Amino acid sequence: MRAWTNVTTGAGEEIVCVQVEDGDPFAVLALGRHTVALTRDECRRIADALRAASHRRPPWV
């Protein structure tokens, strides 16, 4: 099984892409032209931070 997701601009330019294969200890995170291999623990920590940020209320509301 392969899990992946990406985020693009309105013009279709890819901003963020994450890919992981079953059994592979690393996930590949691409930000624009830069790519990094993350451990599963690093992925969980980043996901937790993004989840917390998504639940915050903007100060202007």
Are 26 and 39 in contact, with CB atoms under 8 Å apart? yes
What's the mean pLDDT in 6-22?
86
The helix, strand and coil proportions of the chain, stated in percent and rounded to the nearest 5, come to: 25, 45, 30
15-49 confidence digits (pLDDT tens): 888 898 888 899 999 988 899 999 989 989 999 99
The pLDDT value recorded for residue 61 is 65
Are 6 and 16 in contact, with CB atoms under 8 Å apart? yes
Are 8 and 17 in contact, with CB atoms under 8 Å apart? no
